[in-house]
Amino acid sequence: MLRMPGMQAEMLRRAEVIKGIAEATSPVDHASPDPGHYQRSWETDSTNRGGRRRDRAVAYVRNGSYYARWVEYGTERVPAHHVLLRAAQLGGRN
């Protein structure tokens, strides 16, 4: 049951909800050479070989920009935005 196509589709649907919230709440630096790059870099993926035992459907939400971790967790000079954390908290309810 954990690997059924319907379960994988539901996991992907939930990931898409989280991705939508992450895109909507992503900070945009209008002074950068490519404003909105971080916001456009959100992507989702799913598989039915997830989990520790590779026996269940899972979906992933990730940001492909090279500086995504610094936006999420912050640096010494820049505060953390926790975009994915907040999106997962809000989107996980839907």
> Alpha-carbon distance 84 to 21, whole Å?
9
> Alpha-carbon distance 31 to 20, whole Å?
24
- pLDDT one-digit tens code per residue, 21-55: 999 999 999 998 999 999 999 999 999 999 899 99
Query: For residue 24, how many other CB atoms are within 10 A of its CB?
Result: 11
Residue 54, classified by CB atoms within 10 Å of its CB into exposed (0-12), middle (13-18) or buried (19+), is exposed
* pTM for this prediction: 0.90
At 55, list the tokens: 């026996």
- pLDDT one-digit tens code per residue, 46-93: 999 998 999 999 999 999 999 999 999 999 998 999 999 999 999 877
